[in-house]
Amino acid sequence: MNLDSLYSELTLKSNAKLALVVLDGLGDIATREQNYMTPLEASFTPNLDALTQDGAQGRMTPVAPGISPGSGPGHLALFGYDPLEFQVGRGVIEALGLGLELKAGDVAARANFCSLDAKGIVTDRRAGRIETEVCEELCGRLVKKVKRIGDTDVIIKAGKGHRFVVVFRGKGLEGPLTDADPHREGAPIPKAEPIDKKSAKANKAAKLVAEFYKAALPVIAARKPANGFLMRGIAHQPAIPNFQERYGLKAACIAVYPMYKGLAQLVGMTKLEGSQTIQAQFERYLAEYDRFDYFFIHYKYTDMHGEDGNFAAKKNAIEEFDAALPILLQKRPEVLVITGDHSTPCAIKGHSWHPQPVLLVSPCSGSDKLDRFTETGANLGSLGVFEAKYLIRLMQANAKMFDKFGA
Amino acid sequence: MNLDSLYSELTLKSNAKLALVVLDGLGDIATREQNYMTPLEASFTPNLDALTQDGAQGRMTPVAPGISPGSGPGHLALFGYDPLEFQVGRGVIEALGLGLELKAGDVAARANFCSLDAKGIVTDRRAGRIETEVCEELCGRLVKKVKRIGDTDVIIKAGKGHRFVVVFRGKGLEGPLTDADPHREGAPIPKAEPIDKKSAKANKAAKLVAEFYKAALPVIAARKPANGFLMRGIAHQPAIPNFQERYGLKAACIAVYPMYKGLAQLVGMTKLEGSQTIQAQFERYLAEYDRFDYFFIHYKYTDMHGEDGNFAAKKNAIEEFDAALPILLQKRPEVLVITGDHSTPCAIKGHSWHPQPVLLVSPCSGSDKLDRFTETGANLGSLGVFEAKYLIRLMQANAKMFDKFGA
């Protein structure tokens, strides 16, 4: 029997409030250089410690052993969607990250300006790393000149440095396509081809990309070093089962960064905009407490400082988070989870595969009798090591949202 | 490769004795109200403690994360049958619970008396909760009047209060059917319909249920408030691979309550009847030691007191169990497992999803160097958290019943 169907069958109505608080890239590793302490272990976290008293801990494998996820699969798993089954293309993630609201069927691509010689050979894949202002100006020109191809709208938005995204919004489109990028200098830009050659929709999308090149390249032809562009990760927004229908939970997202709002929106959560600090995010949670059943609250800075390898800054980010926690606890949800979407160890300066620590507090969680919430403590917890995609099922169980299975 | 086939291929003959001792609903959670102790932690268990010295511990997910199993799936998993693959209908479980011996192909239903008005509308789904004696008398009448429908035998047995079960024993029958129960007052009794409309066997079963109503309703028509009845969970006894063939182990069940005997019988174990206390059950084990390879010994009271939320009584039940343990240990099996079929936390007063603690003692188990067998200790054990359906495979491995896989 399909497990998702079983969960659906067993789902009961509930008045419980559930909150998932994600400290992005929270997990870390203990190394000699840092006195065998992780940032979480080195932090002063009196509020987390107090919560831990009545909570259960464990560690979550974000996708599968050894796999370091991007933000897309990391969050989809936390939302209960198998990240191997529901794959979101890089173009879609990039578009979400720039705050574009995608619709089902949109095809999105990551793009960046590059330098071409007279024969169309790529001489610099990053166009000499042009400034963001130049990128914005060039994108502005493209927006004016290439609004529509056939029956399809073309949406272009500048990113940082030489990067931008292109979204095709029309009928009967589908990805993924191969990259219009030789992935090295000294070669021409290859044509984007459908990966499934038999898909009429993907063939239409490939044709669109070719026509987009034909229309767009002349617009920037004189703008060396940015006289060309590459497109990668060309994919459509996948159909993802709606969060509320799947779990019976009306969900809200309180995030600062566009990508996380976008990922939440992908599964049908309501975006609550405007909060710029964790304090403001928690205040917003209090204000919206009655309107939703499930809150996804995203905190970015743990990941950001992990990526920089900045141990002290990651520790500070955790302490700032901890200091804000009492705001959230003014209206304590029945089920509160504090975790990361993956680990971002300072020693690695990037996302990693190390299972992230998770703290789950509810009247049914039981206490693991641990003094603190840390990676080392989480190793001892009653939740064990489990796949992140089951987190929401544990949250639902703790909210008493599941009927007994069998007699 | 199919894992069950691999286990079968690798299975060796063995003279080892294996014993699975189930303290029903053993697992619990530590809460502030009980000083952060579980009943197992609060108990005085010198005999379990001594066993723990040379044993391995871990925790078992009964079915899947967040799922609270009934006794059926809980025990099937302990017997090594995937509870998602082998589902036993509620009617079958209820019949087993009343001590009826089902045969493969029998279709069983939970039933209960209800009140009907002159138009056949259900006015009380529980017939004013009639006394057990009244129920027994009414069932006696039905037994006399409705013995057979066509080529099918009808078996009726009274339960507690307004409840009874009906079993159809004939050829070419199959469930599941929809309930002959409006699940609310103010509506007539709906017809039971096959869930798989294309199944000839299920259609035959549905027709039988309709004819049973036609024959049985007149018998009790004058017996208001019990002048009608509802039928639910109408299902057939599924075909479950025989335990001895599957594992190469001749198995015996020493249980007090009918349901557990019934579940053991479902997989082909021999029921050893007559023991009414845990002491007597262990004595019986000693007496039958030479006749079987595998013993399933079931102790009910931990679950019963957990369901009542009675912490002190659950603790006492554990201590009584511990005091009886030396009887079992007079003939120590090569592989001894002490665990639950699921958790029944006092704070939840019902079955839960929390992985149950498991203690496995054998000459090959190794020692986890834990002083006691508790939930918190089990979190630290070498067995980790694993799915309950693998327990029997670990028991077989500890009995040296598996050849090496590959060279």
Q: Do B90 and A407 touch (CB under 8 A)?
A: yes
CATH number for the domain that contains residue B313: 3.40.720.10
Same domain, A62 and A143: no
Quote the minimal CA–CA distance from B86 to chain A in Å: 9
Q: Do the domain assignments include residue A122?
A: yes
Quote the minimal CA–CA distance from A335 to chain B in Å: 13
Q: Is B42 part of the contact surface with chain A (CB cutoff 8 Å)?
A: no
- Tokens for B384, please give them: 């980790």
Please state which of the ranges A122-131, A157-166, B87-96, B219-228 shows the lowest mean pLDDT: B87-96
Same domain, A218 and A232: yes
Q: Do the domain assignments include residue B403?
A: no
Query: Do the beta carbons of residue A205 and residue A173 sit within 8 Å?
Result: yes
In B39-106, where do the E strands start and end? 55-61
Q: Do B64 and A393 touch (CB under 8 A)?
A: yes
Q: What is the mean pLDDT of residues A312-329?
A: 98
The per-residue pLDDT for range A385-396, each reduced to its tens digit, is 999 999 999 999
The per-residue pLDDT for range A219-265, each reduced to its tens digit, is 999 999 999 999 999 999 888 999 999 999 999 999 999 889 999 99
CA distances from A324 to A23, A310, B103 (A): 13, 21, 62
Distance CA A12, CA B165 (A): 27
Same domain, A164 and A250: no
Same domain, A82 and A107: no
Same domain, A289 and A342: yes
Average pLDDT, chain A: 96
Distance CA B22, CA B131 (A): 33
Q: Please report, rounded to a whole number, the percentage of residues in chain B having pLDDT higher than 90.
A: 94
Could you say which of A236, A251, A284 is where a domain stops?
A236
Quote the minimal CA–CA distance from B64 to chain A in Å: 8
Which chain A residues are Cβ-neighbours of B59 within 8 angstroms? 382, 384
The per-residue pLDDT for range B6-15, each reduced to its tens digit, is 999 999 999 9
10 Å CB burial of residue A207 (0-12, 13-18, 19+) is middle
Query: Do the beta carbons of residue A23 and residue A318 sit within 8 Å?
Result: yes
Q: What is the largest CA-CA distance in chain A?
A: 75
Q: Do A397 and B31 touch (CB under 8 A)?
A: no
The pLDDT of residue A126 is: 94
Dihedral class, residue B332 (left if φ above 0, else alpha if ψ from -120 to 50, else beta)? beta
ipTM: 0.91
Q: Do the domain assignments include residue A405?
A: no
Q: Please report, rounded to a whole number, the percentage of residues in chain A having pLDDT higher than 70.
A: 100
Res. B360 pLDDT band, cuts 50 70 90: very high
Dihedral class, residue A397 (left if φ above 0, else alpha if ψ from -120 to 50, else beta)? alpha
Same domain, B247 and B146: no
- Substitution target in A2, A3, A14, A404 with the highest count of B β-carbons within 10 Å is A404
Q: Is B50 part of the contact surface with chain A (CB cutoff 8 Å)?
A: no
Same domain, B42 and B148: no
The per-residue pLDDT for range B231-282, each reduced to its tens digit, is 999 999 888 999 999 999 999 999 999 899 999 999 999 999 999 999 999 9
Residue-number span of the structural domain to which B355 is assigned: 3-86+240-398
Give yes or no for residue B332 having a pLDDT over 80. yes
Same domain, B231 and B244: no
What is the 3-state composition of chain B as percent helix, strand, coil, each rounded to the nearest 5?
35, 20, 45
Same domain, B250 and B130: no
- Tokens for A147, please give them: 């609004």
Quote the minimal CA–CA distance from B183 to chain A in Å: 16
Same domain, B113 and B56: no
Query: Do the beta carbons of residue A352 and residue A67 sit within 8 Å?
Result: no
Q: Do the domain assignments include residue A267?
A: yes
10 Å CB burial of residue A151 (0-12, 13-18, 19+) is exposed
The per-residue pLDDT for range B143-201, each reduced to its tens digit, is 999 999 999 999 999 998 999 999 999 999 999 999 999 999 999 999 999 999 999 99
- Comparing CA positions, the residue from B134, B186, B190 lying closest to residue B162 is B134
Helix (H) or strand (E) holding A21: strand A18-23
Res. A103 pLDDT band, cuts 50 70 90: confident
The pLDDT of residue A104 is: 84
Q: Do the domain assignments include residue B292?
A: yes
Could you say which of A203, A218, A236 is where a domain stops?
A236
The pLDDT of residue A105 is: 87
Could you say which of B207, B236, B265 is where a domain stops?
B236
Average pLDDT, chain B: 96
Query: Do the beta carbons of residue A193 and residue A206 sit within 8 Å?
Result: yes
The distance of Cα B136 from the centroid of its chain, to the nearest Å, equals 24
**Beta-sheet pairing, A55-61 with B335-339:** unpaired
The pLDDT of residue A395 is: 98
What is the domain count for chain A?
A: 2
In B300-397, where do the E strands start and end? 335-339, 356-361, 384-387
Same domain, A287 and A228: no
Which chain A residues are Cβ-neighbours of B85 within 8 angstroms? 1
Distance CA A36, CA B342 (A): 38
Q: Is A12 part of the contact surface with chain B (CB cutoff 8 Å)?
A: no
The pLDDT of residue B90 is: 86
Q: Do B32 and A54 touch (CB under 8 A)?
A: yes
Smallest CA–CA distance from A407 into chain B, residue = B70
pLDDT: is B103 or B119 the higher one? B119
Q: Do A384 and B88 touch (CB under 8 A)?
A: no
Q: Do the domain assignments include residue B274?
A: yes
Q: Do the domain assignments include residue B329?
A: yes
Distance CA A398, CA A400 (A): 5
Q: Do A390 and B65 touch (CB under 8 A)?
A: yes
Same domain, A126 and A144: yes
Which chain B residues are Cβ-neighbours of A384 within 8 angstroms? 59, 355, 379, 384-385
Which chain A residues are Cβ-neighbours of B86 within 8 angstroms? none
The per-residue pLDDT for range B372-385, each reduced to its tens digit, is 999 999 999 999 99
Distance CA B75, CA A190 (A): 59
Q: Do B67 and A390 touch (CB under 8 A)?
A: no
Query: How many contacts (CB atoms, under 8 Å) link A and B?
Result: 111
Quote the minimal CA–CA distance from A79 to chain B in Å: 15
Q: Per-residue DSSP letters for B217-252? A: HHHHTTSTTSSEEEEEEEEEPPP---HHHHHS--EE
Q: Do the domain assignments include residue B355?
A: yes
The per-residue pLDDT for range B277-328, each reduced to its tens digit, is 999 999 999 999 999 999 999 999 999 999 999 999 999 999 999 999 999 9
Q: Is A393 part of the contact surface with chain B (CB cutoff 8 Å)?
A: yes
Q: Do B94 and A385 touch (CB under 8 A)?
A: no
Q: Do B64 and A6 touch (CB under 8 A)?
A: yes
Distance CA A255, CA A53 (A): 27
Which chain A residues are Cβ-neighbours of B29 within 8 angstroms? 364-367
Q: Do A407 and B83 touch (CB under 8 A)?
A: no
